[in-house]
Structure 1
Amino acid sequence: MISLYFLKGFNLNESIKGIWSKLLGWLDALILNLPNFVLAALVFVLFIVVAKYTAKIIDRILRKKGSQDSIRQITTKVVKVVVILIGFFFALGLLNLDKVLTSILAGAGVVGLAIGLALQGTLNNTFSGVILSFLPEIQIGDWVETNGYSGEVTEITLRNIVIRGSDNNYVVIPNSKIVDEPFKNFTSTKRSRVMLNCGVGYSSDLEFVQKLTIDTLSELFPPRGNEEVEFMYTEFGDSSINFVARFWTDVSKNRDILIANNKAIIAVKKAFDKNNINIPFPIRTIDFTNQLSINNPSKQD
């Protein structure tokens, strides 16, 4: 009974007419707005092309100014995105989709909040990468020590920093680790002080040793400006009187310090040998005298 009533109330012809009229309305709207669609598409494509060439121009300007690669890469990417977004908004305006644009922006805010909560670590690395790219204290080509690793900075991206160590292996460190942890940059200063530790025998003339060491290092590594070779005795050791000598040299990486220390050790050793100054080494004396009663018959009962 219900099925018959439903069939009587259902008019197939009227439904088809309604659908057809709706489709015709959409077709009319499409035809009327076709010029706007074409114009919006052309504007969007034009902005993509403009973004491409604008990024190239900015890249050339930054190259002439000597900006590092990481700054150029991030700047060109940001410029591309901004110009393309402007073109997208212009296209929506030509289509009279201002309400849609408002809805998109509102939805983007909600989605951005959700994505930000879900990707806190990734976004932290991204913002840290932006900071590192514009940070003058660390640049591509610098030799740094950080997070237990040392090497030359070969790449700074929005996610991580790549370091090539002295063993020619690459280490990838997240940007947030670099920003949160202290790092040492050997390249940021052209001159560094190198420490040389040594010791001389107790019978040595300490004042003569001091003067000889300072003269030897000053001749090998001439001081500049207010620099000077410093010499201080540090302790009475087990077999020697120990001292530390500090001198200045050109340093751009950790290897330069090793080379300077190597030269200093050779020069000081030759100077000490020439002047009969002894550099003692620990000596252990073993006493084989056995006082046990089992080996001494006179102490037996």
Structure 2
Amino acid sequence: MHQTTFYPWLRASLISACCTLLMAIFLSAEAQLPGDDTPPTSDTVIETDATRPSDTAIAERLSAIFAEIDALSGVNVTVREGVVWLDGMVPNDASAERAEALALRLDGVVTVEADIERSRAISTNVSPIVAQTESVLTDLLRGLPLIGIAFAVFFVIALIGHLWASWNSFWSRILPNPFLVELVTQAVRIIALVIALITALNIIGATALMGAILGGAGVLGLAIGFAVRDGLENYISSVMLSIRQPFRANEHVVIDGQEGKVVRLTSRATVLMTMDGNHLRIPNATVFKAVILNYTRNPERRFSFELGVDANDDPLAAIKTGVDTLKSLDFILPEPEPFAAMQKVGDSNIVLGFYAWLNQADTDFLKARGVAIARTKNALEKGGFSLPEPIYRLRVETETGLALPPSSEKQAEPKAPPPAPVTPRMSVQEAGLDDVSPDRHLDEKVSEERAEQGEPDLLDEERPVE
């Protein structure tokens, strides 16, 4: 076949095939649609006169059923051609719906038409409540022995848990501090109560109530947990601090930038006495997460200070003079030896840094550092080293940017300023600063605070410090 006639023939054949397929699908769907002559399904069967019960039989059957039910005894039944007509009075709407449901269940009933009214009579509405109450009371009286057994089991389990939690000698042996003893014993009591409640509810068969109680308790506990999140965090931190023991009482510490001596560790906060003698309470959640600097743990402590000498002086000779002076002080530890180093070279001076160690157990840090600075400064000055003040050079220019020319006139030589009065040097002994013994006043105040009856202290001297 020629190509010019092949494509039109193919296109016409495809169109014809598609039309035939669509027509077949349409006719098939139309044949499946139920028409007037389609036989009814089993759900829509309506009996003929030869197969269905008579209207009288249906009415008598429904009336007999309603007569046996107190709430439906006032319902009247009329049946015509399988259609049930209900009227009369019932105590509530639920009884009316129940009557309709019972009528629809009878064989031969086509549909139900209800015109039932709710009775407003006091006797009709109160009687079911009274009957229900009587039934509940009767069931309660019958179940009193079982309820008594449940109460007895609850009491026994709760008593065992309480006695076990009150066994202080046992808990004190296995737990590290009183705070954990109190925490664990309270948890034991609560667990015993929960076990007792679950067992008692199982005995009386109230498993549904038990599930509702446990579910409600879980939701309530979750809500309370979110509400008191900060308090719980602080409480858990207290537990961890009581186990870790990061410091001892009367130790000199710096916690989150706050410096002082430890008075006590309570279940809520760490109490410090600042170096000014003031009380400071830091929440345990902050203490647990903070960086803690402890000055007391290692009694040996290094101090440092800086002194400047003139730029024309020999810095090495100044270092030797200063270090020899530090070595001569009684409170300076021979090991490690004191030393010095050049910090920086300025325009008019050289800054020297001096370093030395002391024992804080028998030497006050601030007093000793002050004496060391004074002794070193005096030694440098006696050795001919000057400690110059900053010198500033000023350059004066004219508006044209040129320096002012020297004057042709003879200028008078400036007079030298009168010498400043020389203050007589005073030794450390003469100034009364040679006593570098530690100040024990804060230690005494902390001991007095700890002797007072206050919150329980979680610090335990027998526990190792981390």
TM-score normalised over the length of structure 2: 0.49
Cα distance change on mapping 1:101 and 1:141 into 2, 3 Å: farther
Q: Distance in 1 between matches of 2:321 and 2:171?
A: 58
Separation in structure 2 between the aligned mates of residue 159 and residue 107 of structure 1, nearest angstrom: 29
Task: Select which of 288, 291, 308 maps to 1:199.
Answer: 308
Q: 1:282–1:167: structure 2 CA closer, same or farther, 3 Å change rule?
A: same
Q: Percent identity?
A: 26
What is the one-letter code of the residue matched to 1:86? I
Matching residue of 1:173: 282
Q: Is 2:379 aligned against 1:268?
A: no
SS at match of 2:308: strand
Cα deviation, residue 244, structure 1:
1.0
Correspondence for 1:10: 124
Query: Do residues 246 (structure 1) and 355 (structure 2) align?
Result: yes
Deviation at 1:8, TM superposition (A): 8.7
Per-residue CA distance 1:42-76 (angstroms, 9 max, x = gap): 5424433432333x6544776xxxx6xxxx24312
Assess, with a 3 A threshold, how the Cα gap between structure 1 residues 115 and 5 changes in structure 2: closer, same or farther.
closer
TM-score by length of 1: 0.71
- Whole-angstrom distance in 1 between the partners of 2:262 and 2:127: 75
Aligned-residue RMSD, C-alpha: 4.1
Separation of aligned partners in 2, 1:8 and 1:238:
110
Map Cα deviations across residues 127-151 of structure 1 (whole Å, 9 max, x no partner).
3333333345445443222333211
- Shift in Å, 1:84: 0.8
SS state at 1:134 partner:
helix
1:110-129 matches, within 5 Å, as 110-129=219-238
Q: CA deviation at 1:166?
A: 0.7
Deviation of residue 210 (structure 1)? 1.9
Structure 1 residues 105 and 213: CA distance shift in structure 2, 3 A: farther
Q: Is the 8 A contact 2:348 2:391 kept in 1?
A: no
One-letter identity of the residue aligned with 1:40: F
Q: Which moved more, 1:278-287 or 1:36-45?
A: 278-287
Structure in which a larger fraction of residues adopt helix: 1
| Offset from partner CA, 1:58-99 (integer Å, 9 cap, x none) | 44776xxxx6xxxx2431232122221232134225524484
- The corresponding residue for 1:75 is 180
Return the alpha-carbon distance in structure 2 between the equivalents of residues 97 and 219 of structure 1: 85
1:88 corresponding residue in structure 2? 193
Aligned residue in 2 for 1:282:
389
Per-residue Cα deviation, 1:17-51 (whole angstroms, up to 9, x for no partner): 55244224324434443354245335424433432
> Matched residue of 2:166: which SS?
helix
Match of 1:257 in 2: 365
Q: 2:333 aligns to what SS in structure 1?
A: coil
Go from structure 1 to structure 2 and tell me whether the alpha carbon gap of 1:174 and 1:242 turns closer, same or farther (over 3 Å shift). same
Q: Go from structure 1 to structure 2 and tell me whether the alpha carbon gap of 1:4 and 1:182 turns closer, same or farther (over 3 Å shift).
A: closer
- Which of 128, 139, 151 aligns to 1:37? It is 151
Query: 1:217 and 1:101 mapped to 2: Cα distance?
Result: 79
Alpha-carbon distance in 1 for matches of 2:252, 2:144: 62
> Quick check: 1:194–1:260 contact (8 Å CA) kept in 2?
no
- C-alpha distance in structure 2 between counterparts of 1:8 and 1:168, whole Å: 79
Cα distance in 2, alignment partners of residues 8 and 96 from structure 1: 37
- Partner deviation per Cα, 1:190-227 (whole Å, 9 max, x = no partner): 32221122223445443333223223323431233xx2
Kindly indicate whether the alpha-carbon contact (under 8 Å) linking 2:309 and 2:388 is maintained by their aligned counterparts in 1.
no
Correspondent of 2:334 among 197, 201, 223: 223
**Deviation by residue 1:135-186 (Cα, 9 ceiling, x = unmatched):** 4544544322233321123343454433321112223333443444434222
Q: Is the 8 A contact 1:202 1:241 kept in 2?
A: yes
Instruction: Name which one, 1 or 2, has greater alpha-carbon Rg.
Output: 2
Q: Say which is worse superposed, 76-85 or 87-96, in terms of deviation.
A: 87-96
Structure 1 118/16 Cα, relative in aligned 2: closer, same or farther at 3 Å?
Answer: closer
Distance 1:44 1:202, change over 3 A: same
**Secondary structure at 2:143 match in 1:** helix
> When the two structures are aligned, how many residues end up with a matched partner?
280
Distance 1:29 1:187 in 2: 70
Quick one: which amino acid aligns to residue 192 of structure 1?
R
Equivalent position amino acid for 1:182 in 2: V
Contact 1:89–1:101 (CA<8 Å) still a contact in 2?
no
Q: Is the 2:158–2:193 Cα contact (8 Å) retained in structure 1?
A: yes
**Worse-superposed segment, 131-140 or 7-16:** 7-16
Distance of 1:264 and 1:138 partners within structure 2: 30
Preserved contact between residue 143 and residue 185 of structure 1 (Cα < 8 Å) = yes
Report the equivalent of 2:31. none
CA distance in 1, matches of 2:140, 2:371: 86
Whether the 8 Å contact between 1:74 and 1:130 is mirrored in structure 2 is: yes
The question of 1:133 aligning with 2:242 is answered: yes
Change (3 A) 1:11 1:173: closer
